[in-house]
């Protein structure tokens, strides 16, 4: 038995506690939480430190050091470590890439392997570029191929049915080379709402294609089955099509293949074709990677940055991540083989924007770029130093002789790669800091507490505002309304610059910051290029070109209010009505089953061309209170057709409790909701979040759990800073 580590953990926010209880803390058979944050950290650090035994070191000593680092929120590892360390599952890696070869057997083998990875808590990336194009010959059946997109849909449907470790749904990255004959269909693949909602998409481009795009030249499409040209497209027009779709929907992104493979540390082991779902981790087929992030906000001092603490944290974090590789339980033998062969880790950062706030440095200035580059150089240098030391103590990674590092007189390395910058959505929420290297999304938000709410303002901004005498209730209201300072009177210009939020930073500065961090990052940088609603397609295209020219490895853009994804709610513009409109002859909708105290309740939500228009319920055989449910449904339907916003109805219904339902909820197989009205409210919220074809779509401003503002991350994820709700798409 190891003794309990010495120091108590940092005090966490209510939102952090909520997300820990929902996703990470262990529960008993009745679903009751049975560990604290400190217990979880002990479970994770003691499990990882068991690797020290095989190298003749004291696991207890290292477990205590790992614990102190995490308890102080200086470093946190990727989510699977929190979920699975010390459990029977034991799968601790976040990122995986699987090969998809051009045969039916290989495709469905990849599908099975995907299911195993998602079940274990990981995310998967694929290149579908090896699949023959649609309409191509299939010799074994004398038929024609359906093409990569048809199999993307199959992978997407399978992902939808699998919950990662029972706690979060799987995520995928789908990549297609720009010279694949089906590239135009791929670019348009997510133009409709609800299609491929479990996939992020990126187009893999080469330097040659980007140069041809700049010159307006044509290029060959290549059939992967024959490796022969099968047509030609104009490179500039294809880039325009990608920019147009990214402007409209946020996807596809770009993956710069040449930049990725120029940094491939083991080219003789294989070429990189794909990344993890968020794009920050390029990997070989069957390779996985463990990630972790240093909290830069914890490195702020009155005089600047505590460089010694940053270096010490980076070195200890590398040792922890290397230990994780040894104690990890891998979902497939092939994954274990190549992961242990290369021993890639991805140490990154979070809280960069909060560090800038503390130092009084605007995000969009040369000083911030220089600081970002210097910070990552320090992290990278420390990581390499300890990796060299571990190679001396434990041996280099087994594929070292087949790597770019195998040069006469060069030091050996324990890890083929050491640094990655991930989006850190949930980790940053636990730590209470800004995500990755992104600017802050908002300066103030409401947090629901019981039946009311409290307003939380960024603590650095609040301190500065009070010290300089411009903190007022009106300012807070403006922050809640706009998320940013905007045009508040009496606020000095230098304060406005320092506390600019994501949508106030120009695309150019977003790109330049990504490039600054990429200079000293072995893998890639997850960064969203945020654009205002008014930005044109030409701005997206210029961001593509600038990111490529500056040597980045990939790009995601997000134009405010543009993304027609599952997280988006259809909000038709209509004037308030004093009388409900007539029920139309034809509606479309969804039906969902909810378990309540009296049995099953079937809830149907329908819409017409003006929006949600009716709700009705059917009670299962087990009984219940059909008259009450029907009354609630009729009133909700009338309210919807009278122009009452669905959000307002959901707010009234959510949280209503029924004693029989709450009692059933305490049993293992009990109810999933608090009451019949609560179930109706949840179903309406889910329907709104799924969007609908034929409606004008806007980014939802509100969390489906607590009603507060959602923060967009990485162009593909949302997170609620109030209650901890998060999801990636």
Q: In whole angstroms, give the CA distance from residue 210 to residue 206.
A: 6
Helices (H), 396-472: 425-431, 459-467
Among positive and negative, which fits the CA dihedral 324, 329, 331, 335?
A: positive
Quick one: 228 exposed, middle or buried, by C-beta within 10 A (0-12, 13-18, 19+)? exposed
State both tokens at 349: 């950062």
Q: In whole angstroms, give the CA distance from residue 356 to residue 49.
A: 34
For residue 242, the SS3 value is helix
Q: In whole angstroms, give the CA distance from residue 646 to residue 271.
A: 50
Distance of CA 13 to the CA centre of its chain: 21
276 is catalytic: yes
Q: In whole angstroms, give the CA distance from residue 690 to residue 300.
A: 41
Q: In whole angstroms, give the CA distance from residue 152 to residue 158.
A: 10
Sheet with 611-619, side-by-side order of all strands: 588-596, 599-608, 611-619
Q: Which of 78, 172, 276, 606 is catalytic?
A: 276
Q: Which of 280, 438, 614, 711 is catalytic?
A: 280
Q: Which of 278, 598, 676, 717 is catalytic?
A: 278
Q: What CA–CA distances, in Å, run from 460 to 388, 433, 635, 690?
A: 38, 11, 46, 36
440 is catalytic: no
Long-range contacts (CB closer than 8 Å, 24 or more residues apart) made by 488-495: 491/465, 492/468, 495/464, 495/465, 495/468, 495/470
- Residue 238: phi, psi to the nearest 5? -65, -45
* Buried/exposed code over 707-725 (b: 16+ C-beta within 10 A; e: otherwise): bbbbbbbbbbbbbbbbbbb
351 backbone φψ class: left, alpha, beta (φ>0; ψ -120 to 50): left
278 is catalytic: yes
Q: Given the DSSP bridges, would you call strands 137-138 and 611-619 parallel, antiparallel or unpaired?
A: unpaired
Please say whether the beta carbons of 9 and 45 come within 8 A.
no
Side-chain-facing half-sphere of 484: CA atoms under 13 Å: 16
Q: Comparing C-alpha atoms, which of 489, 504, 515, 639 is closest to residue 578?
A: 639
* Buried/exposed code over 277-303 (b: 16+ C-beta within 10 A; e: otherwise): bbbbbbbbbbbbbbbbbbbbbbbbeee
Contact partners, residue 510, CB within 8 Å, separation at least 6: 527, 528, 529, 530, 543
Q: What is the 3-state secondary structure (H, E, C) of 623-675?
A: CCCHHHHHHHHHHHHHHHHCCCCHHHHHHHHCCCCCHHHHHHHCCCCCCCCCC
Contact partners, residue 217, CB within 8 Å, separation at least 6: 234, 235, 236
Task: Give catalytic residue positions.
Answer: 276, 278, 280
């Amino acid at each position: 038995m190891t003794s309990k580590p010495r120091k108590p953990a940092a005090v966490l926010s209510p939102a952090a506690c909520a997300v820990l209880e929902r996703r990470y803390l262990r529960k008993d058979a009745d679903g009751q939480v049975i560990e604290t944050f400190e217990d979880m950290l002990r479970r994770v650090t003691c499990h990882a430190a068991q690797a020290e035994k095989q190298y003749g070191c004291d696991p207890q000593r290292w477990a205590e050091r790992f614990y102190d680092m995490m308890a102080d929120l200086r470093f946190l590892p990727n989510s699977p470590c929190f979920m699975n360390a010390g459990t029977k599952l034991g799968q601790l890696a976040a990122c995986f890439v699987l090969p998809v070869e051009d045969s039916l057997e290989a495709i469905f083998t990849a599908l099975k392997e995907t299911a195993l990875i998602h079940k274990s808590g990981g995310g998967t990336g694929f290149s579908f570029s090896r699949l023959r194009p649609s309409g191509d010959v299939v010799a074994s059946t004398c038929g024609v191929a359906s093409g990569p997109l048809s199999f993307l849909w199959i992978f997407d449907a399978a992902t939808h049915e699998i919950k990662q470790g029972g706690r979060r749904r799987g995520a995928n990255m789908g990549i297609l080379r720009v010279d694949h004959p089906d590239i135009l269909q791929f670019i348009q693949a997510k133009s409709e709402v609800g299609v491929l909602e479990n996939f992020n998409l990126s187009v893999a481009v080469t330097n040659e294609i980007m140069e041809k795009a700049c010159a307006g030249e044509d290029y060959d499409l290549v059939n992967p089955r024959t490796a022969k040209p099968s047509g030609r497209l104009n490179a500039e027009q294809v880039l325009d099509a990608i920019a147009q779709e990214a402007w409209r929907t946020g996807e596809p992104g770009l993956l710069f293949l040449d930049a990725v493979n120029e940094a491939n540390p083991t080219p003789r082991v294989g070429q990189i074709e794909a990344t993890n779902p968020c794009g920050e981790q390029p990997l070989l087929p069957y390779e996985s990677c463990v990630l972790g992030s240093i909290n830069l906000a914890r490195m702020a001092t009155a005089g600047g940055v505590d460089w010694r603490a940053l270096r010490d944290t980076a070195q200890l974090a590398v040792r922890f991540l290397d230990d994780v590789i040894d104690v990890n339980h891998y979902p497939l033998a092939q994954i274990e083989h190549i992961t242990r062969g290369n021993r890639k880790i991805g140490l990154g950062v979070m809280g960069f924007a909060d560090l800038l706030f503390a130092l009084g440095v605007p995000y969009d200035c040369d000083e911030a770029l220089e600081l970002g580059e210097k910070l990552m150089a320090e992290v990278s240098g420390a990581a390499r130093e300890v990796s060299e030391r571990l190679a001396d103590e434990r041996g280099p990674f087994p594929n070292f002789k087949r790597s770019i590092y195998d040069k006469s007189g060069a030091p050996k390395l324990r890890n083929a790669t050491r640094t990655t910058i991930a989006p850190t959505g949930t980790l940053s929420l636990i730590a209470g800091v800004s995500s990755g290297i992104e600017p802050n999304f908002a300066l103030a938000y409401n947090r629901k507490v019981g039946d009311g709410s409290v307003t939380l303002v960024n603590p650095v901004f609040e301190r500065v505002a009070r010290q300089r005498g411009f903190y007022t209730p009106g300012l807070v209201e403006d922050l809640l309304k706009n998320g940013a300072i905007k045009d508040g009177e009496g606020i000095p210009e230098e304060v406005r610059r320092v506390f600019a939020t994501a949508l106030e930073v120009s695309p150019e500065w977003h790109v330049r910051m990504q490039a600054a961090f990429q200079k000293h990052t072995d893998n890639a940088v997850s960064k969203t290029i945020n654009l205002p609603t008014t930005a044109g397609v030409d701005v997206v295209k210029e961001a593509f070109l600038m990111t490529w020219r500056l040597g980045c490895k990939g790009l995601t853009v997000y134009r405010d209010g543009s993304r027609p994804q599952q997280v988006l709610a259809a909000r038709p513009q209509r004037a308030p009505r004093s009388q409900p409109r007539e029920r139309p002859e034809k509606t479309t909708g969804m039906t969902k089953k909810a378990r309540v105290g009296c049995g099953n309740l079937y809830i149907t939500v329908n819409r017409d061309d003006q929006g949600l228009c009716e709700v009705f319920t059917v009670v299962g055989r087990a009984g219940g209170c059909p008259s009450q449910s029907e009354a609630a449904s009729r009133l909700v339907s009338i309210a919807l057709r009278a122009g009452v916003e669905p959000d307002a109805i959901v707010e009234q219904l959510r949280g209503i409790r029924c004693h029989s339902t709450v009692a059933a909820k305490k049993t293992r197989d009990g109810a999933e909701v608090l009451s019949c009205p609560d179930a109706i409210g949840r179903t309406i919220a889910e329907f709104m979040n799924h969007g609908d074809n034929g409606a004008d779509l806007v980014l939802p401003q509100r969390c489906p759990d607590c009603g507060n503002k959602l923060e967009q991350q990485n162009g593909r994820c949302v997170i609620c800073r109030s209650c901890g709700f998060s999801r990636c798409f």
